[in-house]
């Protein structure tokens, strides 16, 4: 495994150059695995954001007039560079998130797949031709870029989060300002470096480091930013929608989840348990699509609970490839999750396993939490309705299918949902009636692919879908071009 090579201070990328924040301020980025300082990071504010938007504005005319095929070829070169530097990226992402090298490498595969898919859109970017009620007239729709795209992301799967937004935004002909996640600054910086070296023209992708209110909010407020795509919490998403709404900027929001996984009495319990553990605990539960509400039929509840507890106690927590999952992103996040579990306990829930920080010598200095299973939480308790973004899941006992479905839908969120059953009738009825943007049968609550639309209903988003070809609708305008002709003039 490579040791990542960080600059001492992670800079911004503006107009093709690495630049410090204009005030020279920095913040410390700690390693989630050790609690030690990993690097310092440019702490940008509105002046830096304005500079980045300026650069994106300047680069827009040439980039938007470039043919989509050429844009796609440049993005394919960026994608190849990611492949050539996969080990470097994985090492950097692992160091700054605490996930294992192998997990970070798999995430890099997802970013490469996204790059390939979106680069190929340069040769499609289809519109349609259609008819007219009037003789000698026909119509076609074409896609046009919007202008400068403001991209704001979470840290949980850093390279995939970057790829999911940057590739579709750029292939559509927009230029972009990416506000990197403060928890994963180096991955974004390295992406910018690779993109520049692979031939992305200066100013097409600018990357600003810093905190949300200081470096994200000015991007949202700036009237020169035509479209905002945000991946993060519902609270911040609502704030962004409010600000951007007042100037009628387009907004795409990929927000939180409280995703149900139903285990029926006819499910294969062993694979169901495997999928519950992966859904709840992989990436330390830091997934918008994490399975955090496990709804189990009464007939198999006790057996399934015991199986889960036994297998959860065998999970290994740490930063290595042999571990099942790593730390959470920072101390504040760890404290917030621990406090939520404590409040649940006080409200009458039982902690079946976990519920505490790992404080043995191997884990004490990192931000590690034991995998945690909770039962007897009431369906409307705080822990049942609010997203934790940590390795915690709750079990709920239900008598039958209709109560399982009702419980699954009893949530402010509606991102993903899953059912384990051998019955095609239950599977189809569940996928039809569950309120979610993604409905899965006999697998996990997560696992989206680059060519599939992803997004949620209710508080999980505002109805847009990324990536897939649906992302093209976020990042382009449709223009309807009407052609008339006169056969007498031929």
User: Is residue 217 within the footprint of ligand NAI (CB under 6 A)?
Assistant: yes
Given the complex with ligand NAI, which of 96 and 182 has the nearer CB atom? 182
Place of tokens 């559509």: 172
Catalytic, 254? Answer yes
Q: Which residues of 189-209 are buried (b: 16+ CB within 10 A; e: fewer)?
A: bbbbbbbbebebbebbbbbbb
What is the C-alpha to C-alpha distance for residues 213 and 221, in angstroms, rounded to an integer?
Answer: 11
| Cβ-contact 82, 111 below 8 angstroms | yes
Indicate which residue of 254, 264, 394, 418 is catalytic. 254
The one segment of 31-39, 146-154, 244-252, 315-323 that binds ligand NAI by CB under 6 A: 146-154
Please give the Cα distance from 344 to 337 (Å, whole number): 11
- H-state helical runs in 374-470: 382-385, 401-409, 424-433
Cα–Cα dist 366/36, whole Å? 8
Q: Is 216 in the site for ligand NAI (CB under 6 A)?
A: yes
CB 60 within 8 A of CB 201: no
Say whether residue 473 binds ligand NAI (CB under 6 A).
no
Closer to ligand NAI by CB, 64 or 229: give it.
Answer: 229
Side-chain-facing half-sphere of 92: CA atoms under 13 Å: 24
239 interacts with ligand NAI by CB under 6 A: yes
Binding mask 161-180 for ligand NAI (x = CB under 6 A): ------------------x-
Please select the residue that binds ligand NAI; options are 212, 285, 319, 467, rule is CB under 6 A.
212
Least Å distance, CB 253 to ligand NAI, is: 8
349 forms beta bridges with none
Contact between 255 and ligand NAI by CB under 6 A: the answer reads: yes
Q: How far is the CB of 137 from ligand NAI (least distance, A)?
A: 42
Rounded to a whole number of angstroms, the CA Rg of the chain reads 23
| Residue nearer to ligand NAI on the CB measure, 68 or 237 | 237
32 lies in the site for ligand NAI, by CB under 6 A: no
Q: Which of 10, 118, 148, 155 binds ligand NAI (CB under 6 A)?
A: 155
Chain position carrying tokens 């919490």: 233
Q: Is 233 in the site for ligand NAI (CB under 6 A)?
A: yes
Q: How far apart are CA 81 and CA 191, in angstroms?
A: 9
- Contact (Cβ atoms closer than 8 angstroms) between residue 337 and residue 118: no
**Measured over all CA atoms, what is the biggest interatomic distance in the chain, rounded to whole angstroms?**
88
172 annotated active-site: no
Site string for ligand NAI, 272-301 (x = CB under 6 A): ----------------x-------------
The candidate with the shortest Cα–Cα distance to 136, out of 489, 483, 409, is: 483
Closer to ligand NAI by CB, 203 or 256: give it.
256
* CA dist., res. 217 & res. 211, Å (int): 9
Among 54, 116, 211, 378, binds ligand NAI (CB under 6 A): 211
Q: Does 156 bind ligand NAI (CB under 6 A)?
A: yes
Which parts of 402-461 interact with ligand NAI (CB under 6 A)? 415
Catalytic residue, from 264, 288, 394, 418: name it: 288
Please answer whether residues 295 and 263 qualify as being in contact, where contact means their C-beta atoms are separated by less than 8 angstroms: yes
Active site members:
254, 288
Residues within the interface to ligand NAI (CB under 6 A)? 152-156, 179, 181-182, 211-213, 216-217, 220, 231-233, 236, 239-240, 254-257, 288, 387, 389, 415
């Amino acid at each position: 495994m490579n040791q990542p090579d960080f600059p001492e201070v992670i800079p911004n990328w503006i107009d093709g150059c690495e630049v410090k924040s204009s005030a020279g301020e920095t913040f410390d980025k700690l390693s989630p695995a050790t609690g030690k300082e990993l690097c310092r990071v440019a702490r940008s504010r509105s002046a830096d954001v304005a500079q980045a938007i300026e650069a994106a504005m300047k680069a827009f005319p040439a980039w938007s007039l470039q043919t989509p095929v050429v844009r796609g070829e440049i993005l394919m070169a960026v994608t190849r560079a990611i492949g050539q530097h996969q080990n470097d990226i994985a090492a950097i992402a692992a160091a700054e998130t605490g996930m294992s090298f192998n997990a970070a490498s798999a995430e890099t595969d997802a970013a490469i797949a996204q790059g390939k898919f979106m680069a190929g859109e340069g040769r499609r970017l289809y519109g349609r031709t259609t008819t007219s009620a009037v003789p000698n007239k026909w119509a076609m729709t074409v896609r046009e870029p919007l202008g400068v795209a403001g991209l704001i992301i979470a840290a949980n799967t850093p390279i995939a989060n970057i790829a999911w937004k940057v590739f579709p935004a750029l292939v559509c002909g927009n230029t972009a300002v990416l506000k990197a996640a403060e928890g994963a600054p180096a991955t974004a910086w390295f992406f910018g470096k690779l993109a520049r070296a692979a031939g992305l023209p200066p100013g097409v992708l600018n990357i600003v480091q810093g905190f949300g209110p200081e470096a994200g909010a000015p991007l949202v407020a700036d009237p020169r930013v035509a479209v905002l795509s945000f991946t993060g919490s519902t609270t911040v998403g609502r704030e962004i929608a409010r600000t951007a709404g007042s100037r009628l900027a387009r907004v795409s929001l990929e927000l939180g989840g409280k995703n149900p996984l139903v285990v029926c009495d006819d499910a294969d319990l062993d694979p169901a348990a495997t999928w519950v553990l992966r859904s709840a605990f992989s990436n330390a539960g830091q997934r918008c699509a994490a399975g955090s509400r496990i709804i189990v039929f009464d007939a198999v509840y006790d057996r399934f609970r015991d199986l889960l507890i036994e297998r959860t106690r065998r999970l290994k927590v740490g930063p290595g490839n042999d571990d099942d999952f790593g730390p959470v992103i920072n101390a504040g996040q760890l404290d917030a999750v621990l406090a939520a579990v404590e409040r649940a306990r006080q409200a009458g829930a039982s902690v079946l396993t976990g519920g505490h920080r790992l404080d043995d010598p191997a884990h004490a200095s990192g931000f590690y939490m034991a995998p945690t299973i909770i039962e007897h939480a009431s369906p409307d308790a705080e822990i049942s309705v609010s997203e934790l973004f940590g390795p915690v899941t709750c079990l709920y006992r239900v008598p039958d299918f209709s109560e399982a479905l009702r419980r699954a839908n009893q949530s402010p969120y509606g991102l993903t949902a899953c059912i384990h059953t051998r019955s095609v009738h239950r599977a189809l009825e569940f996928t039809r009636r569950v309120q979610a943007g993604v409905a899965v049968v006999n697998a996990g609550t997560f696992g989206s692919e680059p060519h599939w639309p992803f997004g949620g209903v209710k508080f999980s988003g505002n109805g847009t879908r990324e990536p897939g070809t649906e992302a093209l609708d976020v990042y382009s305008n449709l223009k309807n071009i009407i052609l008339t002709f006169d056969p007498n003039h031929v």
